[in-house]
Amino acid sequence: MNIAVLVSGSGTILEAILEAGIEVSLVVADRPCRGLEIAGNGAIDAVLLDRTGFGGFSKSFDRAAYSDTMCSLLEERNIDLVAMAGFGTVMTGEIFQRFAGRILNTHPALLPAYPGWHAVEDALADGATLTGTTVHIATEEMDAGPVVAQAEVPIEPHDDAALLHERIKQVERVLYPQTIREVAQTLGDGGSIEAIITTPEQG
């Protein structure tokens, strides 16, 4: 399986994927970031598909054009499976059709609970005692794709958003590589992603 990892920041999830022994064929970033350095240090093909050329972070950002360009890049490199790893650009359009069931993402909550950008803060504000991390299939509707794997993280009385998010990330760095490996093996053996989709108990 040719696996691409999409990054935007420090690359700690990418590091965890590589440390788990998963072979990555391509790393793509939407902005200059440490994730590209990690790819370079590992002699992994890396591409900076910078948002700057599509309107940057302004209201004029051409999301559809960026998404189509990303899709074409992944197809040109014969990518079979895409893993978003802290990727900060929300994509839209045909990429979710042409790579249907083959784009994975993580979320710092037990989806369908607490979707959106502020999942950790929302869980704390709600007085929840349990949260976690979810690996799901990315779809055009944010945080709404089928769940592939989840792991729980208790919320401690002393937690603030930073402490809780870091504990979630520690679990995520184990669960995500395991799940990527399982999905890649399933697809590589000719199986269907539906075979490993789970039904969340929480939500």
Picking from 99, 130, 159, the residue at the C-terminal end of a domain is: 99
Of the two residues 16 and 199, the one the predictor is more confident about is 16
121 with 46, same domain? Answer: no
Of the two residues 198 and 4, the one the predictor is more confident about is 4
Picking from 54, 73, 99, the residue at the C-terminal end of a domain is: 99
Q: How many CA atoms lie within 13 A of 60 on its CB side?
A: 5
In this prediction, residue 200 carries a pLDDT of 67
Give 203's pLDDT tier (boundaries 50, 70, 90). very low
Q: How many domains does the chain have?
A: 2
How many Cβ atoms from other residues are within 10 Å of residue 23's Cβ? 11
Residues spanned by the domain of 197:
105-203
Angstrom distance (rounded) from CA 63 to CA 6: 16
- For the stretch 133-167, pLDDT in tens is 999 999 999 999 999 999 999 999 999 999 999 99
- For the stretch 39-94, pLDDT in tens is 999 999 999 999 999 999 999 999 999 999 999 999 999 999 999 999 999 999 89
Examine the pLDDT at 198 and tell me if it is beyond 80.
no
82 with 140, same domain? Answer: no
92 with 129, same domain? Answer: no
C-alpha closest to that of 119 among 128, 130, 107: 107
17 with 84, same domain? Answer: yes
Quick one: tokens of 193?
Answer: 């992603």
Strands 130-137, 147-154: pairing kind: antiparallel
Angstrom distance (rounded) from CA 72 to CA 69: 5
34 with 89, same domain? Answer: yes
Examine the pLDDT at 199 and tell me if it is beyond 80.
no
C-alpha closest to that of 66 among 83, 52, 54: 54
95 with 119, same domain? Answer: no
120 with 94, same domain? Answer: no
- Annotated catalytic, 107? yes
84 with 115, same domain? Answer: no
110 with 200, same domain? Answer: yes
Among candidate residues 107, 118, 136, 158, the one labeled active-site is 107
- Mean pLDDT for the chain overall: 95
Quick one: tokens of 106?
Answer: 């993580």
Q: In the predicted model, what is the mean pLDDT of residues 188-201? A: 77
In this prediction, residue 201 carries a pLDDT of 54
Q: Strand order of the sheet with strand 147-154?
A: 45-48, 26-29, 3-7, 81-85, 103-107, 130-137, 147-154
84 with 124, same domain? Answer: no
Picking from 82, 99, 116, the residue at the C-terminal end of a domain is: 99
29 with 112, same domain? Answer: no
**CATH code where residue 114 lies:** 3.40.50.170
Examine the pLDDT at 196 and tell me if it is beyond 50.
yes
In this prediction, residue 19 carries a pLDDT of 97
78 with 139, same domain? Answer: no
Share above pLDDT 90 across residues of the chain, in percent, rounded to a whole number: 91
